[in-house]
Amino acid sequence: MDQCPSAPSPDAPAYRGRVKYDARTARRYQQRDPARHRAELRLVERAFAFVPVTHRVLDVPCGGGRLTVALAQKGYDVTAADLSDAMLAIARETIAAQGLRCPVEKQDVERLTYPDRSFDTVLCFRLFHHFPTPEIRQRAVNELCRVARQFVVLSYFSPMSFTSWRRKLVATLGGRPSPKHSTPLREVKGYFANAGFRLVRDFAHRVVLHTLHLALFERVGDFWP
């Protein structure tokens, strides 16, 4: 029987962000608006105000290493990891250019090779919104939580924002659906609760105006009654 022409190939990646970053797109990602970079950095700094500087931190995905560098310069012992070879090459350059010596490793966030609780804190910035299904979201959260001893800091796109409403409207009116997925905080909290973590605080640059949120989760039991 003929295969339906619109059926995805069995070899297709589950989401485009998994394979998007080749040498060209990885370089282009480094040229993002500096004001946006500074705003994102401030968001990360607000969450890391809760994280002791003695913590071993895993930055996954590290992309070109901008947050690895920022955290290492604050004194954290940071390991950088990503799936894209092109991004890993840029991260190595960026880290070396700053005179830092952070390990940079190829890892898939859905199948990390680190033993349980290898890091005190795990940062996962600007990846979760690429995940198209609850199964992938839960699988990634399970892995982030498994390797984190205390904290996981995760960015996600909130549906309660102008950008998300606009994307939904475009799709409803027949436009191209966005490959970026927003997830309500209660759903994000559910994935973490399943993995034994609870929300400490949710940060946003400007709630409703900005879709990017950053949530700080902590392991329940060892750190909370």
Ligand X SMILES: C[S@@+](CC[C@H](N)C(=O)[O-])C[C@H]1O[C@@H](n2cnc3c(N)ncnc32)[C@H](O)[C@@H]1O
Q: Cβ of residue 193: shortest distance to ligand X, in angstroms?
A: 22
Pick from 182, 10, 14: nearest CA to 108: 14
Which residue's beta carbon is nearest to the bound ligand X?
Answer: 63
CB of 63 or CB of 104, closer to ligand X: 63
Instruction: Give me 157's structure tokens.
Output: 């796109």
Instruction: State yes or no: residue 66 binds ligand X (CB under 6 A).
Output: yes
Q: In sequence order, what are the beta bridge partners of 79? A: 58
Cβ closest to ligand X, residue 19 vs residue 53? 19
Distance CA 59, CA 153 (A): 10
Q: How far is the CB of 87 from ligand X (least distance, A)?
A: 4
Least spacing, CB of residue 172 vs ligand X, in Å? 26
Question: Considering only residues 77-136, where is the footprint of ligand X by CB under 6 A?
Answer: 82-84, 87, 107-110, 125-127
Smallest distance, ligand X to C-beta of residue 165, A: 22
Closest to ligand X by CB, 36 or 224: 36
Part of the chain binding ligand X (CB under 6 A), chosen from 46-54, 76-84, 114-122, 185-193: 76-84
Binding mask 5-24 for ligand X (x = CB under 6 A): ------------xx--x---
Interface residue with ligand X, options 43, 47, 48, 63 (CB under 6 A): 63
Question: How far apart are CB 195 and ligand X at their closest, in Å?
Answer: 17
Site string for ligand X, 206-225 (x = CB under 6 A): --------------------
Q: Candidates 51, 55, 61, 157: give the one binding ligand X (CB under 6 A).
A: 61
For residue 97, give Cα distances in angstroms to 31, 88, 92, 101. Answer: 17, 14, 8, 10
CB-wise, 112 or 150, nearer to ligand X? 112
* Sign of the dihedral defined by the CA atoms of residues 136, 94, 122, 41, in that order: negative
In whole angstroms, give the CA distance from residue 147 to residue 59: 12
In the region spanning residues 17 to 56, those forming contacts with ligand X, defined by CB under 6 A, are: 17-18, 21
Binding interface with ligand X (CB under 6 A): 17-18, 21, 60-63, 66-67, 82-84, 87, 107-110, 125-127
